Amino acid sequence: MRQQLVALVERPMDATVQQYGSEILTARDLANNTIVLGSPGSGKTSGVLQSLQYGALTASPYMGGLFNTAKQDDLPNILKPIKYANRLSDCIIINALGEFRLNWLEYARKQTPKGSSEAITVLEMLRIFSEMVSKSASVSKDPFWQTHVDKFCLAAITLLIYAKVSLSVKKMIQILHSMPKNTDDIKDDEFISRSKFMYYLNLALDNPDTENNQEFDQCVSYFLDEMAGTMDSRTMSNIVASIHATLFPASIGLMAKLLDDVESNFSMDMTFDGSIIIIDVPSSVYHEQANLVTSMLMYLWQKDVMMRDLSKNNRAVFSFTDEAQLTINRQTVAFSSVCRSQQALCIYASQSLAAIKVRLGPHSDHLLDQFINNCGNIYMLSSTNPDTLRLFSDLVGKDYEMRVGFNAGLANGHNSANASEDYRYILPEKEFRLLATGGPRNSYVVESIFVSSGRTFNEDQTYLRVAFDQKMLEH
């Protein structure tokens, strides 16, 4: 039986999440964003994440939050600390065979701020989806085609809203392929009788809210005047192909089954009341479909967090994103700038920054720099990548080191001494390469070098060496 929690709690950000000797990390510390970096097999999931997850799940006051699975066997590992914390009843597990569904377009529509346009709110999410499909947040696109994709989506969403039907990509594609392509279609009774566009248009015209409505008039003008009235057939075909390519991935597979044209039976903001949402669609099984579903659900959760009124519900919430290089996008970077003020603990694990950059795109240095700058806590695990190792040494920093030399002249009896001051890495790359990676060879111990912005450890050291027990929940 799930326990009922009060919405307002005392000092939620003072909850202890980790303790390393005398060093304590609270929810406030981890709300600065945390990233865990290390090569495959370095112990990111079984060492650092397991400890952080257990800490978040057992912290007081209670927190709700979000998990994702990246590999096929991740779910049992996520459930292990949840069971240990006696919180299985708080779980909502989303998977291909389960019962939970969320209409993503309708959910985004309801997130519209007061006084803003519902259609624009939904379009913003579709833009992020399109970037995920193209695997780049900054890929160069022809403005002409992209503008027409945006204009169609905006008009189709507006039409469906005024038709008073639920939003879905499936319906948008129906509109795309049944809208009039020329002025003759508008006069053709047979076309009108079988066109889904005309069906939704007639539903909208029955809505009294469309009378003297500039937004609706612009929507109708786009379809009947701009597209059917002035567009030549070749340009029209290319525009339709561009729009279809953008929307089609959301109309098939897991996106269609879990998020599109479905009836919602849970909400992402349930985490504010202590629920634990697990997105169990591992990319090792479902590949890019999994990345799209996970990214869009995380997008909706992030939007909910950004809109949350802390005067009504102030519980801290958490998000654990394993293999973050598969799901990160422009919205993730923007959210990393504000999550602290909304009392959200966001922990990301990835193999390297290079892997994250691949997802963000070839012209995304500014996004990657912004994201890393927003990560106030960094756990560095064993790596064999030269760029990553140099980054680790840079993160720990440099310090002055006094070097003293002495020369003895055996023949003439003259001796000399010299001293110099060098500015050297506090921890050379070798130190990171040789960190313990867990497993039987290392007695199931995972080692990490931890740095936190504005914090020193052990007599003004800029880093803390931390060991994690992979068997911590089996003792």
Q: What is the pLDDT of residues 217-245, one digit of tens each?
A: 999 999 999 988 777 888 889 999 999 99
How many domains in the chain? 2
Residues 96, 108: one domain? Answer: no
Count how many Cα atoms sit within 13 Å of the Cα of residue 266 in the half-sphere of its side chain.
24
Predicted confidence band of residue 138 (pLDDT cuts 50, 70, 90):
very low
Residues 219, 106, 127, 338, CA torsion sign: positive
**Secondary structure of residue 422 in the 3-state scheme:** strand
In DSSP terms, which residues pair with 416 in a beta bridge?
A: 407
User: What percentage of the chain has pLDDT greater than the value 70?
Assistant: 93
To which residue do tokens 């066109």 refer? 195
- Eight-state DSSP code of residue 458: T
Q: Which residues of 210-219 are buried (b: 16+ CB within 10 A; e: fewer)?
A: beebeebeeb
Is residue 406 included in any domain, yes or no?
no
Residues 290, 376: one domain? Answer: yes
- DSSP H helix total and E strand total for the chain: 21, 13
Q: Which helix (H) or strand (E) holds 421?
A: strand 415-425
372 in Cβ contact with 366 (< 8 Å): no
CA distances (Å), origin 20, targets 14, 94, 247:
16, 34, 48
Rounded to whole angstroms, the Cα distance separating 35 from 48 reads 10
Residues 251, 291: one domain? Answer: no
134 in Cβ contact with 229 (< 8 Å): no
252-280 pLDDT per residue, tens? 999 999 999 999 999 999 999 999 999 99
Last residue of a domain, one of 195, 223, 255: 255
Confidence check: pLDDT of 402 > 70: no
Residues 137, 230: one domain? Answer: yes
Residues 122, 83: one domain? Answer: no
Is residue 409 included in any domain, yes or no?
no
Is residue 267 included in any domain, yes or no?
no
Predicted confidence band of residue 55 (pLDDT cuts 50, 70, 90):
very high
Is residue 382 included in any domain, yes or no?
yes
Residues 91, 125: one domain? Answer: no
Residues 83, 109: one domain? Answer: no
Q: Give me the pLDDT at residue 475, please.
A: 66
Is residue 189 included in any domain, yes or no?
yes
Residues 112, 96: one domain? Answer: no
Residues 344, 383: one domain? Answer: yes
282-298 pLDDT per residue, tens? 999 999 999 999 999 99
**CATH code, 354:** 3.40.50.300
The CB density around residue 345, as the number of other CB atoms within 10 Å, is: 30
Residues 118, 236: one domain? Answer: yes
Q: Give me the pLDDT at residue 139, please.
A: 43
Query: Torsion over CA of 381, 387, 393 and 397, rounded to 10 degrees?
Result: -130
Is residue 414 included in any domain, yes or no?
no
- Report, in this order, helix, strand and coil percent for the chain, each rounded to 5: 50, 15, 35
Peptide linkage before 362 cis (omega within 30 of 0): no
Predicted confidence band of residue 408 (pLDDT cuts 50, 70, 90):
low
Confidence check: pLDDT of 2 > 90: no
Residues 189, 76: one domain? Answer: no
Is residue 411 included in any domain, yes or no?
no
Last residue of a domain, one of 223, 255, 287: 255
Last residue of a domain, one of 255, 283, 307: 255
293 in Cβ contact with 95 (< 8 Å): no
Rounded to whole angstroms, the Cα distance separating 275 from 319 reads 12
pLDDT, averaged across the chain: 92
92-131 pLDDT per residue, tens? 999 999 999 999 999 999 999 999 999 999 999 999 999 9
Residues 319, 346: one domain? Answer: yes
Domain region containing 450: 12-100+274-397+429-469
Rounded to whole angstroms, the Cα distance separating 51 from 201 reads 55
Predicted confidence band of residue 135 (pLDDT cuts 50, 70, 90):
confident
Is residue 421 included in any domain, yes or no?
no
Pick 138 or 436 by higher pLDDT: 436
